[in-house]
Amino acid sequence: MEVKELGHLVLYVRDIERSARFYRDVLGWRQILPAPGADSNAFAVFNAPSGRTHHELLLIEVGEDAAALPEGRRVGLYHFGLKIGTSDDELREALAKLRETGTPVLGMSDHTATHSLYIADPDGNEIELYVDVPGVDWETPEAIGSPVKPLHL
């Protein structure tokens, strides 16, 4: 077997409307089902504006009484990365949008091959918004194994 690409991500969320607004209105995902404002049936399906595939994100509502993600080091998902471009200008635009929407930035990092902002969705799932750094040969181990440095935009 050979994995060809990461196909989609499924997240449990407490409040489907709140989470759908975040992924749609803050991050710019295109909501496929249900149509925004329609009865959600406790799920929402999205794809990126590129329309690369049938769906890339599925949110499933589990209710306000669902257990929270444990804090600190734990087994399981740390974060997922969303490529938003190939230039620091695009990262600056994202930072402005995050500030405009009141979305806290948890961190900013220079990984040599990528420059990244870290945020969390309304349920605490951490998300890396990144751009590939032009001219970096990311296929060499040195490019992706470099020490993480602070990012200044």
Q: How far apart are CA 72 and CA 95, in angstroms?
A: 25
Fold of 79-150: 3.30.720
Rounded average pLDDT over 136-153:
84
Q: Which CATH superfamily is domain 9-61 in?
A: 2,3-Dihydroxybiphenyl 1,2-Dioxygenase, domain 1 (3.10.180.10)
Rounded average pLDDT over 99-128:
96
Quickly state the pLDDT bin for 9 (edges 50, 70, 90). very high
Q: How far apart are CA 17 and CA 13, in angstroms?
A: 10
Average pLDDT taken over every residue of the chain = 92
Q: How far apart are CA 23 and CA 129, in angstroms?
A: 13
Give the residue extent of every domain in the chain: 9-61, 79-150
Give the model's pLDDT for residue 35.
83
Distances (CA, A) of 96 to 18, 90, 100, 102, 136: 21, 10, 6, 10, 25
pLDDT (tens digit per residue) in 22-49: 999 999 999 999 987 777 689 999 999 8
Q: Find the DSSP H helices in 16-129.
A: 16-21, 88-100
Q: How far apart are CA 11 and CA 121, in angstroms?
A: 11
Give the model's pLDDT for residue 16.
95
Q: Find the DSSP H helices in 11-70.
A: 16-21
